[in-house]
Amino acid sequence: MRVCDTIAGLREARRPLRGPLGFVPTMGALHEGHASLVRRARQECASVAVSIFVNPTQFGPHEDFARYPRTPDVDLRLLESLGVDVVIIPDADEMYPAGHVARVTMSGYPARGLEAAARPGHFNGVATVVAKLFAIVAAQRAYFGQKDAQQLAVVRRMVTDLDIDVEVVGCPTVREPDGLAMSSRNRYLSPDERRSATVLYRGLCRAREAWHDGERSPGALRRAIVGELLLERVVRPEYAAIVHPDTFRIYRGRVDGPALAAVAARVGTTRLIDNASLD
């Protein structure tokens, strides 16, 4: 496995690799969710590239950029064991050198509402770094987790709108045995908070049950989620919504198309998100 900290180094290491090349962008602090993306890329592609970069432009001024977990040695050992061919692990000056001013701006749905409203500028930061990584790695396929469903929709929209020649592959959320979606941020949780955090999944299950019982009112589906969240003292709901999975437009009347239940909540001081497809 070649490990590169420069863009030039990555381009050189990538040249002899057999195609198709699969790419898994990450911010490190890898867990089983990331491993599942790498395994899928390994199955479907002749070569696999991974990036590890905690991207400053997608964090707001009061978010957790400084304390975001950084575990490069453990991450690299995992990636080696998964048979990854090349890793790029650049620093911020390599990705955004002095004078760097170009940005990708996502100016409408799916980069509106929910995460976009809660984290202003977040998706422009994601789109910018992902566009740069796509240009650097030049992979044929890129693998993203469904756990960050709005991010996945934003990346798909960006790839379509900018005519980027990469196939975006969405992969299922990997959950702990008790249902908690795997996330690098789960490690912020105290043991008590960790127990309460399963309520996001339980809330989504309530909405799914209601859906299977024939409920099509977005308000009622939303209430099924929030009602569950409110059972946990340390959990503060931020939003629960029923959205179209591609556009992320919120259903206001009857749900009459493909539907995704999306939820965000603070568990103690940790902000968690999750979602579930309803159909």
Nearer to ligand PAF, 13 or 133 (CB): 133
Applying CB under 6 A, does 174 fall inside the site for ligand PAF? no
- State the number of binding residues for ligand PAF (CB under 6 A): 10
Give yes or no for residue 186 binding ligand PAF (CB under 6 A).
no
| Binding of residue 136 to ligand PAF (CB under 6 A) | no
- Residue 182 CA, chain-centre distance (Å), reads 11
- Decide whether 82 or 130 has the Cβ nearer to ligand PAF: 130
* CA neighbor of 235 nearest in space, from 260, 269, 191: 269
129 binds ligand PAF (CB under 6 A): yes
> Minimum CB separation from ligand PAF for residue 129, in Å?
5
- Taking residue 243's Cβ as centre, other Cβ atoms within 10 Å add up to 25
Reading the block at residue 74, the tokens are: 């453990």
The one catalytic residue in 31, 34, 122, 212 is 34
Q: Residue 169's closest CA among 13, 40, 264, 261?
A: 40
Looking at residues 144 to 163 of the shown chain, list those that interact with ligand PAF (rule: CB under 6 A).
148, 151
Give the DSSP per-residue string, 118-180: HSTTHHHHHHHHHHHHHHHH--SEEEEEGGGHHHHHHHHHHHHHTT---EEEEEPPPB-TTSP
**Which residue lies nearer to ligand PAF by CB, 76 or 126?**
126
| Nearer of residues 45 and 129 to ligand PAF, judged by Cβ | 129
Residue 212 annotated in active site:
no
In this structure, what token pair is assigned to residue 1? 């496995």
Residue 274, interface with ligand PAF (CB under 6 A)? no
Q: 44-73: which residues touch ligand PAF (CB under 6 A)?
A: 55, 58
First to last CA, the chain: 40
Applying CB under 6 A, the span of 7-15, 20-28, 160-168, 269-277 interacting with ligand PAF comes to 20-28
Q: Is 196 in the site for ligand PAF (CB under 6 A)?
A: no
- Which among 4, 124, 150 is positioned nearest to 76, based on CA atoms? 4
**Pick from 184, 217, 218, 242: which is nearest to 68 by CA?**
184
**Minimum CB separation from ligand PAF for residue 220, in Å?**
31
Are 167 and 224 in contact by the 8 Å Cβ rule? The answer is no
Nearer to ligand PAF, 26 or 146 (CB): 26
Q: How far apart are CA 229 and CA 199, in angstroms?
A: 6
Using CB under 6 A, list all residues that contact ligand PAF.
25-27, 55, 58, 126, 129-130, 148, 151
Catalytic residues: 34
